[in-house]
Structure 1
Amino acid sequence: MEFVQDKFNGIIIESGSVSDCSNTFHTSLVEIITFAQNTEKNLIWLTLPIHQSHLIEPCTREGFKFHNCLETEITLVYKNVSNVFVPFIPTHTLGAGALIVNSSHEVLLVKEHGMNGYKLPGGHIDLGEPIESAIQREVLEETGIESDFESIVGITTKHPYRFGKSNMYIICRLKAVTDIISIQDKNEIEDARWTPISDYLQDTNNSLFNRQMVEKLSNEQGLRRVQLEGDRGPHKKQEVFFSNSKN
């Protein structure tokens, strides 16, 4: 198998050079582990596509641990030094909620099937999806309302959440471009409506957290997106949000 050495004194095995044969793979893997030990490398990284999942067992037999996975691949890591730092372990799922208040001081709300009360439109942010486009997409799917992103007005975290990970919930302020409700995702959303903020806050069928969130954030401006000078290249920041920005 072929591999490259990274700038952190580690080894990355080239996925395209991995043999499908378990015996051949295991022999090559032991050779790389021996090389890492003799040259005092810290870590060995290996990503296996799902069609090579049969090679996971030889890896774990030699001391590899699971690091992270996608639908079609899993990444494993071998620690040559027991106390070496292993970076970039995924820890959180991300969600976003949309705080949209119209000129009549009504807030846009949705009710999911099985819920007692109403909440802000929103949902999960997909891998690689900008916060701005994610929350606009969720609002459109759940209410049919087109909207413009304005700012981030709040963040909450929760642990434990699903599958032992933490969750971060980003509350975004948006401005409605249209006002006619037409639910797109009827499998998830039972009802959507514009409701006077005062009525929403007084209705105890709605969760205390959601009512407090609307009450505290309905007039806040929050963090606005800015474009930084010189932010370009392969490692550019996808989104930057600063407070009190005039940009």
Structure 2
Amino acid sequence: MMGYNNYSISRVLYGSLTKHSRTPKQNNATKVLLSLKRQISSQSFYEKYFGSLNKLERIRDLFDKDVKLENVAKDLLPYSEDRYRGIHVVIDREKKCNPKYHNHMLKILDDSIAEWKLKGKTAVWIHVPIEKSAIIPSILYHGFKFHHAEDEYSSLSLWLHQDVETRIPIAASHQVGVGGCCIDDSGRMLVIQEKRRPVKVWKIPGGFSYLGENFDNTAKREVYEETGIETEYQSIIGFRQKHNFPGAFGKSDLYVICRLTPITFKIRPCPREVQECKWIDIEELSNRDDLTPLTAGVVKVALHGWKNGFKEIDIVTSLVKETDDLLYHRFVNNL
């Protein structure tokens, strides 16, 4: 191949080159390639004449370096693109991780970043499965930073425009918990004492919300897991936000209080978490000093609703039209 002139290469690339063959003295490979790029765009063409895309790379140096081949002729990292023009690369957990792979990864990453910058992409996210953690130093070498991590992978990010302040969002700033304020028809509230607390105080049952779990389902699940009581969701009656929450790794905590009504009444406390569980009258609870600060606030709100009607305190839920989104708001007629 190296012994061929540019005209011969063009004939290999495009058969008879009918219109190019009229001027065989014109051997400017750049013009030939640009013409071919306008006429040929499918991957099948390259594979037909070269067997694989990698073979096409061998002749790239024969052409003017300013000519940019189509993506199909480049050895770039496979990626997807989000609506903010961000690039997402998921490292294949099946490929063997060795020094040769590291070197190959560095070269491809260099080419890929350069290409994405030229195309005006905003940022690159590389998601690394835990099995491929050994390549992370190679990724950091290119200026990537850790963004977040889960059980099975870590994600690193790179903002591509040094002249513009980064718009990469920070990792999740809050953890979300939900508490169940369960009140029966006689005005009793379901409260528990936890085993883990050194001082025994009463609180409403609750816990962390799972990914993809709505507030109402979290409240019902947590109450059932901790007390054995099955409940029906009614409304939200408040939120608590707390920063630098203990055990949240420097993040903030958002705690949603749901009002529930019981379907069953037989208490079966969780033996691992709950020391004691009771139904206690709201009036009595409002006069006790052995409640957690949050529960004391919830009791005051619940007592007002019990005496004056829960419409006074309820935040209800409606479905946003043409979406699956839930809107939480005070009651509005004909919404």
Structure with more of its chain in strand, by fraction: 1
> In percent, how many aligned pairs have the same letter?
25
User: What corresponds to 2:22 in structure 1?
Assistant: none
What displacement does 1:34 show? 2.2
What displacement does 1:18 show? 8.8
Aligned partner (choices 85, 89, 97) of residue 13 of structure 1? 89
Aligned partner (choices 32, 36, 39) of residue 116 of structure 2? 36
The answer on whether the counterparts of 1:2 and 1:17 sit within 8 Å (CA) in structure 2 is no
| 1:1-247 equivalence runs, <5 A | 1-16=77-92, 20=97, 21-82=101-162, 83-87=165-169, 89-113=171-195, 114=197, 115-161=199-245, 162-183=248-269, 185-218=270-303, 219=305, 220-221=310-311, 222-231=314-323, 236-237=324-325, 239-245=326-332
**Which sits farther off after the overlay, 24-33 or 162-171?**
24-33
C-alpha distance in structure 1 between counterparts of 2:236 and 2:329, whole Å: 9
What displacement does 1:14 show? 4.3
| SS at 1:29 equivalent | helix
The answer on whether the counterparts of 2:191 and 2:205 sit within 8 Å (CA) in structure 1 is yes
Letter in 2 for 1:170: V
Letter in 2 for 1:148: E
Q: Relative to structure 1, is the Cα distance of residues 229 and 40 closer, same or farther in structure 2, using a 3 angstrom cutoff?
A: closer
C-alpha distance in structure 1 between counterparts of 2:255 and 2:167, whole Å: 28
Letter in 1 for 2:327: V
What displacement does 1:52 show? 1.2
C-alpha distance in structure 2 between counterparts of 1:80 and 1:55, whole Å: 20
Give unmatched runs, 5+ long, in structure 1. Answer: none
| SS at 1:109 equivalent | strand
What displacement does 1:81 show? 2.1
TM-score by length of 2: 0.67
Structure of greater relative contact order (alpha carbons < 8 Å, 6+ residues apart):
1
| SS at 2:319 equivalent | coil
Structure with more of its chain in helix, by fraction: 2
Kindly name which structure, 1 or 2, has the bigger radius of gyration based on alpha carbons.
2
Give unmatched runs, 5+ long, in structure 2. Answer: 1-76
Q: Relative to structure 1, is the Cα distance of residues 157 and 59 closer, same or farther in structure 2, using a 3 angstrom cutoff?
A: same
Give the aligned length: 241
C-alpha distance in structure 2 between counterparts of 1:6 and 1:206, whole Å: 47
| SS at 1:240 equivalent | strand
TM-score by length of 1: 0.89
Letter in 2 for 1:178: T
**Which sits farther off after the overlay, 16-25 or 99-108?**
16-25
